[in-house]
Structure 1
Amino acid sequence: MAKQDGGGEAQQRRGPFSSFHLTLGARLKAYLLTGILVTAPISITLYLAWLVIDWVDGLVNNLLPAQYHPDQYLPFTLPGLGLLIMLAFLILVGMGSAGFVGALLVRLGEGVVGRMPVMRGIYSATKQIFETVLTQQSDAFREVVLVEYPRKDAWCIAFVTGATKGQLRQSLLGAGYDDWVNVFVPTTPNPTSGYLIFVPRSDVRPLSMSVEDGLKAVVSGGIVMPSDDVPPAADTKSSSA
């Protein structure tokens, strides 16, 4: 009875609004977390976009003569102007290289670079990468698969970058498989680094998720995963069976 009386006295000391304070604190905590979830992604996205725009603006301003800087004529800066100038320049270069004279100049430039021992290797590899990634007919990074790596019964998300060809395919034909694919296994949380492995086509498991969803899963370390594509009706039938 003494313990119960002590508990009652403690309840009286806390007052009748103690439960209200607890509820208010829980609500404020929930509101705080919701605010973070709402503002953090958009804030980080805008911050990264601002960094890119600021970097391009600084690069263009360094290339432009001082008398052509907008700051010389306006009392304020124009963020994003350098990015617009860069896009306009690239469009003009693309239009010029599509013509006969532009294509001839490009070939002459490639011929000069091709005679440089070190530069020709860097230029050739860089050009091939951009052509493979940017061309609309390319299948690079358009197929998400599961591959058994780095050991048996351990699977990871990977991206098929193309079919294995040339000397590599000839060297791998002795393993008993005819169809080999190049697979890029990204690292978490930085998907720009990873490992290039050559796997038989029959040993990869294709996934229906998009490349964007696959990259989200890799970057988040598995926290953000694509939703299940199986409809609820199919799940109910399978469970009842």
Structure 2
Amino acid sequence: MIRKYLLAGLFTLLPLVVTLWILRGIFTALVGIFREPLTFLAHLIHVPDPPTWALALFSGLATVMLLVVVGALMGNFIGRQLLSWLDELMMSVPVVKTVYGATRQLMGAIQSGRGGSFKEVVVVEWPHPGSYTLGFVASRDCSWAIPGGQGMLAVYIPTAPNPTSGYVIMIEASKVRPADLSADQALTWAISGGVVVPPRTGTGSFRLPEKP
């Protein structure tokens, strides 16, 4: 009986604990960004160091303002030109350009959905025969990497519970099958570790790849 109650309590509180853990990480990162500048400013004007709640409040407001300003800049020519110069600067720094360029292209693909990138959900046999998982079509041409790769797909396979640390595989188009799922449904399934399943009828169903 005690074991039953322990398991029931664990599964009830686990989503809350995971959510609080993620929010705590975001909170700590935001506070860390502005801690040094605010502390330096406090010393400069001879006032006590700001408390943690003040750092958190200022960090949150500053982050929102930064996002708004960047979004507004993207809406006019001068702002786009400034961001273009920033891109050129970042892409001219060794090592930094690799990370920055890849992240920039990934975000652009997700935001615009170019060529169906990360919009089309498919079923792939991975990581070994007899095992299947869901993936997202990133591109439909791998000829740049493999001779005859025009018929191959680059498929991104998210991991659980963090879908941003997934795998990218190149696979023949004939070995994947479309899944009647939205990108949100597939991501929810991956993040939940397969616990949250899409509806079984109508939208939200998928077919296993047929054996050749």
TM-score scaled to structure 1, two decimals?
0.63
**Are 2:159 and 2:166, in contact at CA under 8 Å, matched by a contact in 1?**
yes
The code of the aligned residue for 1:206 comes to: P
Q: 1:91 maps to which residue?
A: 68
CA RMSD of aligned residues (A): 3.6
Q: Does 1:142 align with 2:119?
A: yes
The code of the aligned residue for 2:157 comes to: V
| Counterpart pick for 2:31 among 57, 63, 75 | 57
Give the gaps of 5 or more residues in structure 2.
203-212
| Counterpart pick for 1:201 among 150, 154, 173 | 173
Give the gaps of 5 or more residues in structure 1.
1-25, 232-241
Q: Highest relative contact order (Cα 8 Å, sep 6+), 1 or 2? A: 2
Q: Deviations over 1:45-98 (max 9, x none)?
A: 1232122112212212223443399x9597772434312211211211332343
Count of aligned pairs between the two proteins: 198
Q: Which one has the largest radius of gyration?
A: 1
Q: Deviations over 1:90-110 (max 9, x none)?
A: 211332343232233333333
The code of the aligned residue for 2:83 comes to: V
* Whole-angstrom distance in 1 between the partners of 2:87 and 2:172: 36
SS for the counterpart of 1:63 is helix
SS for the counterpart of 2:155 is strand
C-alpha distance 118-150 of structure 1, shift in aligned 2 (>3 A): closer
| Counterpart pick for 2:41 among 61, 66, 74 | 66
Q: Does 1:107 align with 2:84?
A: yes
Q: 1:154 maps to which residue?
A: 131
* Whole-angstrom distance in 2 between the partners of 1:156 and 1:38: 27
SS for the counterpart of 1:207 is strand
Higher helix fraction: Structure 1 or Structure 2? Answer: 1
